[in-house]
Each structure stands twice: as C-alpha cells, then as structure tokens.
C-alpha cells in the first residue's frame, strides 16, 4: 500500500508510505490519497483530515522514475495527489517532517493548515530544473507569505527552514522533531469543537473569497451564511452558550 489510514476521535490521518522514495508521488499514490479524501468528505463521523509522510519526510513531490516510465501521475480534474485542484470540503492539516519539496510542498499548500516540526524544509526547486511549480505552488505560496518572498523562493528554488516558515506565517504551529502528527492531532481536536457545517462553510469562504469578484463577494458569503443561520447547529450553539454546557452538534448531513 502506498498510504496508511488511521482514524481516531473523528480525525482521519493519511500517511504517505513510500519512505524509500522520500514519499514521492506515483499514480497509485495519487489515486490512494484521492480515495482517502473522498472518504473524509463522505463519512459524517469524520471531522478533520491530517496528511503526513512516513519515515521522517513529508514528500519530495512527483516520482520522477514513475514519470519517466510513462505514468501520468496527476489525476484528471484533481491534479497531483488527487488534491491539488480539488481539496476536500472538510478541514485538512498537513503534518510536515523533513522535506516538503517541489510537488510535496505544493501538496502541503493545498492543505488548509500546516503543522511543522523543526526538521521541516520547504522549497520549490522547479526553476533550477527548467520547470515551474505548476501544481499550485506559484498560485498558493503568495497567498501564504509576502509576495516578494514567494517570488524569491520561486526564482531561486532555495529551501525555507522551519523557523523561517513560522516567521512568514507559512506554518500554523512549530513543534519538536518527530511531533508533527501529534501537533496536528492537537490542532484537529480544537477544530472538532466547532460545528461540522460551520467548519465547511468557513473553509469555503476563507479559501475562495480572495478570488470572488468584489461585486458578488457579500452575496456569495450571505448565501452560505443563510444556510448556517437556519441550521440546527446554530440553535444548538446558542442554547448551549445560554445553558453553560458543551454543544451537541449534528452530523454534517443533518
């Protein structure tokens, strides 16, 4: 198997399990990750996903040996690892140890949040190979850090160490080496305190509002807001606050 799946307390942990290839992505791995993301969205008992890599590295991107052998590593309509173009609707956290380079960095950027250990190294070296970071890196990186720094990284291909990634706001939390998954699970537990439908709507607005035309911005947000205001969870949240108790959320399909 090219990935492992573990479920705990509503969190799906997906581990890319090709340590001998530094978790490089071949076709089978793209398909397996895509299937896991479909599971995350379809299973109402799952609230948050975590994507990580086995063996001390996140991923070094496309498996060049597979590519040279004729494999089409990207999935039609979904891209590299099955999430570049179509991330899941539910929150997804990247737990990064070691290298997240090239397409591996782009996979991390396709996630909503990043928890990194001190061993983490990020980079887009494609220009040094005569290529460009065409799996979302050039689009998403300037949204996560200052544009001029993103430009420098894209043009020089240099690696960003964990401390610098934290300084630029590229990662949400920095933890000790070997603790990225534990840190991501702690963050996921905080996220799971929120209502499922509210999480999905919030993610959709934050992820897409920057690309909505200004004249439709409020209309698009209000359409999502109306559904949330009229939901069972909105009433439950207000009641729980008034009664000084923990809310009991519905499933995502309620």
Task: Tell me the catalytic residues.
Answer: 106, 126
- H/E segment holding residue 194: none
d(CA 123, CA 165): 10
Q: Checking phi first, is residue 24 left (phi over 0); if not, alpha (psi -120 to 50) or beta?
A: beta
β-bridge pairing 92-96 and 160-161: unpaired
Q: In degrees, to the nearest 5, what angle opens at C-alpha 80 toward C-alphas 59 and 178?
A: 20
Instruction: For the chain, give the longest Cα–Cα distance.
Output: 62
The answer to whether 199 and 91 have CB atoms below 8 angstroms apart is: yes
d(CA 181, CA 186): 9
For residue 175, count other CB atoms closer than 10 A to its CB: 22
d(CA 187, CA 93): 9
């Amino acid at each position: 198997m090219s990935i492992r799946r573990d479920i705990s307390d509503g969190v799906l942990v997906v581990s890319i399990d090709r340590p001998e290839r530094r978790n490089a992505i071949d076709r089978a791995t793209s398909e397996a990750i895509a299937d896991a993301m479909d599971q995350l969205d379809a299973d109402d008992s799952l609230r948050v996903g975590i994507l990580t890599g086995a063996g001390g590295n996140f991923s070094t991107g496309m498996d060049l040996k597979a590519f040279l052998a004729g494999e089409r590593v990207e999935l039609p309509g979904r891209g590299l690892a099955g999430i570049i173009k179509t991330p899941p609707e539910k929150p997804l956290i990247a737990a990064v140890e070691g290298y997240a380079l090239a397409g591996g960095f782009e996979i991390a950027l396709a996630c909503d949040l990043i928890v990194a250990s001190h061993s983490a190294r990020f980079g887009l070296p494609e220009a040094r190979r005569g290529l460009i970071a065409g799996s979302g890196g050039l689009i998403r990186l300037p949204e996560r850090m200052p544009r001029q720094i993103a430009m420098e990284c894209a043009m020089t291909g240099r690696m960003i160490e964990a401390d610098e990634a934290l300084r630029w706001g590229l990662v949400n939390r920095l933890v000790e080496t070997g603790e990225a998954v534990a840190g991501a699970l702690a963050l996921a537990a905080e996220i799971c305190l929120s209502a499922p439908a509210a999480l999905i709507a919030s993610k959709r607005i934050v992820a897409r509002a920057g690309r909505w035309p200004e004249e439709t911005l409020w209309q698009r947000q209000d359409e999502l807001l109306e559904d949330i205001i009229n939901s069972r969870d909105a009433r439950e949240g207000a009641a729980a606050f008034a009664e000084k108790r923990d809310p009991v959320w519905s499933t995502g399909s309620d």
